Amino acid sequence: MNRIEIDNITFGYDKTPLFQNLSAEVADAEFCALMGPNGSGKTTLLKCICGLLPITSGEIRVNGKPITAYQTMELAKLISYVPQRQDNVFDISVYDLVMMGLYPYQKKWQLPTVEDDAVVCKMLEKCNLTHLRGRLLRELSGGELQRSLIARAMAQQTPIMLLDEPLSNLDVAHRYEIMDILADLNRQGVMVIIIMHDFPIAIEYSTHALLVKHGKVVQHDVKDAVLTPENIRDCFNLGEGFEILANGHISKRRK
């Protein structure tokens, strides 16, 4: 059983707190939609969970152990992370990018094995990238790059996957394609925490939802209890001019 415990953490930029004494717990194989207004701390929270940003106070534990007690490679075998944006320092191929997901399992200077190649090819196929395996990253569209980053995370084969708005650069067909892949991983026992803004897709795919606002947890529970029209309206400050349906679709009433 996998468990992430966020225990009274505080973090801020330039001495300005983004969140204070924030607590939450994600356990087992949740497919958790992390949602909230812009600036509420969603991306920062994911970066804190995977150790990219050091918290000021409190503690984050993964499977009962503080993340600060893990070695880098040890933590990389537990948590994979798909960023919202990727600055490409090296212009490598899609194949080489996905191969990077296997770095926690490879020894220094070790060449990829036949087994490594099989894993990469499998993830390329799952993300519909086989035809782009030799394409350089600078030659990719935004959506193709996003799918490549997801394939890299999948190649990492971790029991916990964190994704920061992975659907933002994808067209409708690829959005559902990626969500189907993530749902399949979740059914296999992978915990998925995904930042997203698409309420209908969140309601369709997630098992749980975590709403945050102004650096505080509004509610974390099964999706039907959290993603209600009332909670969506309150969390996102939607006035009476907006109509929110039970399936998450939002429309603005015309005068």
Q: Residues 198-217: pLDDT tens digits?
A: 999 999 999 999 999 988 99
Query: Pairing relation of β-strands 208-213 and 216-222?
Result: antiparallel
Query: What confidence category does residue 86 fall into, taking pLDDT thresholds of 50, 70 and 90?
Result: low
Query: Which residues, including other chains, have CB under 8 Å from residue 109's CB and lie 6 or more apart?
Result: none
Same domain, 17 and 135: no
Query: Which residues, including other chains, have CB under 8 Å from residue 51's CB and lie 6 or more apart?
Result: 67, 68, 70, 72, 75
In this structure, what CATH number is given to the domain that contains residue 189?
Answer: 3.40.50.300
Query: Which residues, including other chains, have CB under 8 Å from residue 64's CB and lie 6 or more apart?
Result: 3, 5
Residue 2, both tokens: 């996998």
Q: CA 168, 173, 177: angle at the middle one, nearest 5?
A: 85
Residue 236 lies in a domain: no
Among the candidates 157, 187, 210, a domain finishes at: 157
- Per-residue pLDDT of 129-180, as tens digits, reads 999 999 999 898 888 888 999 999 999 999 999 999 999 878 898 899 889 9
Residue 254 lies in a domain: no
The rounded mean pLDDT for the chain is 91
Cα(137)–Cα(132) distance, rounded to whole angstroms?
10
Does residue 188 register a pLDDT over 90?
Answer: yes
* pTM of the predicted structure, to 2 decimals: 0.93
Same domain, 176 and 194: yes
Cα(231)–Cα(243) distance, rounded to whole angstroms?
13
Whether 32 contacts 6, CB under 8 Å: no
DSSP state string for 58-84: EEEEETTEEGGGS-HHHHHTTEEEE-S
150 three-class SS: helix
**The predicted structure's pLDDT at residue 239:** 83
Cα(197)–Cα(60) distance, rounded to whole angstroms?
25
Query: What confidence category does residue 88 fall into, taking pLDDT thresholds of 50, 70 and 90?
Result: low
**The predicted structure's pLDDT at residue 255:** 66
Q: Residue by residue, what is the 3-state secondary structure of 87-135? A: CCCCCCEHHHHHHHHHHHHCCCCCCCCHHHHHHHHHHHHHCCCHHHCCC
Residue 128, both tokens: 């519909």
Does residue 87 register a pLDDT over 70?
Answer: no
Whether 206 contacts 57, CB under 8 Å: no
CB atoms within 10 A of CB 201: 18
Give the chain's domain count. 2
Q: Higher pLDDT residue, 42 or 87?
A: 42
Does residue 91 register a pLDDT over 90?
Answer: no
Among the candidates 138, 157, 176, a domain finishes at: 157
Percent of the chain past pLDDT 90, that is, above it, reads 71
Query: What confidence category does residue 114 fall into, taking pLDDT thresholds of 50, 70 and 90?
Result: very high
Residue 129 lies in a domain: yes
Same domain, 38 and 104: no
Q: Which domain holds residue 164?
A: 1-78+158-223
Same domain, 5 and 16: yes
Strands (E), 199-254: 208-213, 216-222, 242-244, 250-252
User: Crossing angle, helix 142-155 and helix 172-187, to 10 degrees?
Assistant: 10
